[in-house]
Amino acid sequence: MKSKVVSFLILIIVIFVLLTLTGAIFTVQETEQIIITQFGKPVGAPINEAGLHFKVPFIQDVHTIDKRVLQWDGPVAEMPTKDKLYIVVDTFARWRISDPMQFFIRLNDLRRARSRLDDILGSETRNTVARHELVEMIRTTKDRKAAIDDTLAAGGGTTSGGLPPIQFGRVALEKEITEEARGKLAEFGIELLDVRFKRINYNPAVSAKIYSRMMSERQQIAERFRSEGQGEAAKILGNKERDLKEIDSKAYREVQTVEGKADAEATAIYAKAYNQTPEARDLYQFQRTLDTYKTSFQGETTLILSTQSNFLRFLKGPTAGPSPTPAPAPPKPAP
């Protein structure tokens, strides 16, 4: 009976020792830092070294705080710039807990820390945006030159010279937000590493104006191209008309030259034939008279002639009428 009681007591003692050791030993990971509290109040310095550590069991508690670089993704907010343009800004940041004791006393957990980050970073972002113009938010640095559309510049567009000079740039604005918020977050044991703009969008009302301006500029370029095309078309048409007139004039001159030469040769042949024997001359005169009859008597032609006219000699008969005088040689046509 006594052996059973002793065994039971030994079992209880072993269980108590195991529970005590379990409550007294804890492990710290590489990515953790530990705050030990006793009755809700911090005790001792934070533990940053990884490995096994000890605490007073049952009356002391372990609070784990992450020491890695953490992410903050800010809410999308609409805010005005210095030039009174409303834009939609989306930001993100990287931060870590540099003073775990101060962090535990002031905020206690990550949920409250993220809420504080929303307030401080959101406020500093709004203040910085309100102090600068929109172009400072869009351009990366002040040393980067604005890209100029050569076609728009040649057409007299507004964009080529419409951008004001860059004094800071988006990178400088991000640094400004970081520096302003870093001091305010340090009192909570938070080290702010960096703040960046994830996205910057125009307000829908502003977007319509921007798109309208872009379309107007493209229309200016199109009108310039159309004007240049019309000028080139008029130039081509003018050259065509000039070339056509030059070709027509040259062709007319050549035609007249050829006709003049042909008429001269024909006249020479006529004169040579006419000045040969009297029989040839009579035959030529007879042939020419017949040709004249063909051209004179067409349709219902009426002629009133004298009976002594040579034009009627061959109509009266081969012996009728007086002997005709030799017909003069046909005139030489002008070349």
CATH superfamily of 70-202: Band 7 domain (3.30.479.30)
pLDDT, one tens digit per residue, over 204-249 is 777 777 778 788 888 888 888 899 999 999 999 999 999 999 999 9
Cα 313 to Cα 63: distance, rounded to the nearest angstrom: 150
- Would you say how long the chain is, in residues? 335
pLDDT, one tens digit per residue, over 11-20 is 777 776 666 6
Q: What percent of the chain has pLDDT over 70?
A: 79
- Decide if 188 contacts 102 (C-beta within 8 A): yes
- Decide if 179 contacts 192 (C-beta within 8 A): no
* Dihedral angle of Cα 184, 187, 191, 196, to the nearest 10 degrees: -20
Q: How confident is the model at residue 52 (pLDDT cuts 50, 70, 90)?
A: confident
What are the phi and psi torsion angles at 95 (to 5°)? -150, 165
pLDDT, one tens digit per residue, over 103-120 is 999 988 889 999 999 999
Mean pLDDT score of the chain? 80
Helix (H) or strand (E) holding 252: helix 204-274
Q: Which residues pair with 199 in a beta bridge?
A: 90
Model pLDDT, residue 329: 44
Domain ranges of the chain: 23-65, 70-202, 218-293
For residues 24-42, average pLDDT: 83
